[in-house]
Structures are given as C-alpha cells and as structure tokens.
C-alpha cells in the first residue's frame, strides 16, 4: 500500500491531566502516516484522486484548537477516528502525538503516543 506522511506538524492545544495544562495549553507535535492508493493521483496529476494534506492540517488544527483531553492517548484516538471518518480513501493510518514538555521535574525530549488504526 502507498503511504503519505505528514511529519512534525506543530499545534498548540489544551491537553493534560492537570487543570493548569488544560487552562494554559502547550505545544504538541503530530505525525500522520496515511495508507492509501496513490497510483491514479500520480498518473493523472490530479489532487481530487488523493488526500489533500492542507485539508488534513486544517482538520487537525480544528481538533487541536477546539477539543480538550486529559490524555494524549485520547487525543491520538480522536485524530485517528476523525481522519478515517473524513477521508474514505485512507485504508489505515498511524498517528503519533508528542508532548515535548510534560510537567515533570526532569528534562527530557517529551512523551509520545503512537497508534495504528485500520478501516473496519
């Protein structure tokens, strides 16, 4: 299966177990790997035969601005569900959500949740 990857899209969102995280928000990174047939789009050079990644970004921007979750697991699951619901040509996807600055008293590069979902 062909793949389209959208890497390290940066969003500001209100996700966290602590009330302050959901109130103040913070930066998150989202990676998507979309599995779909890209042959006809490539042969015909036709945007209508593929997934418009600018539209995917707008979908994610709406999710990140308007939804609140306690867990990045819930955010990743919601993203996967919405992308599969919106783009019927996608047969499977991998979503990776990274929280680069969790509220811990140590320094590290962040925490990441990655999940893979297929169309049922």
Instruction: State how many domains the chain has.
Output: 1
Query: In which domain, by residue range, is 17 found?
Result: 3-118
Alpha helices in 47-97 (DSSP H): 53-66, 72-86
pLDDT tens-place string over residues 57-103: 999 999 999 999 999 999 999 999 999 999 999 999 999 999 998 77
Stretch 108-118: mean pLDDT, rounded?
93
pLDDT tens-place string over residues 41-61: 999 999 999 999 999 999 999
pLDDT tens-place string over residues 4-33: 999 999 999 999 998 888 889 999 999 999
Pick the catalytic residue: 23, 70, 99, 120?
Answer: 99
pLDDT of residue 106: 79
Contact between residue 27 and residue 12 where contact means Cβ atoms under 8 Å apart: yes
3-class state of residue 40 by DSSP: helix
Distance CA 102, CA 74 (A): 16
The domain that contains 76 carries what CATH number?
3.30.1130.10
23 is catalytic: no
């Amino acid at each position: 299966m062909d793949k389209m990857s959208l890497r390290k899209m940066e969003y500001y969102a209100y996700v966290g177990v602590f009330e302050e995280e959901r109130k103040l928000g913070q930066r998150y990174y989202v990676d998507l790997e979309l599995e779909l047939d890209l042959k006809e789009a490539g042969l015909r050079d036709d945007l209508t035969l593929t997934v418009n990644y600018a539209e995917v970004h707008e979908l994610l921007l709406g999710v990140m601005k308007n939804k609140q979750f306690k867990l990045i697991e819930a955010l990743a699951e919601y993203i996967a569900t919405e992308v599969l619901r919106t783009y019927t040509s996608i047969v499977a996807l991998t979503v990776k959500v990274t929280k680069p600055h969790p509220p811990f008293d140590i320094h590290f590069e962040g925490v990441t949740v990655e999940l893979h979902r297929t169309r049922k």
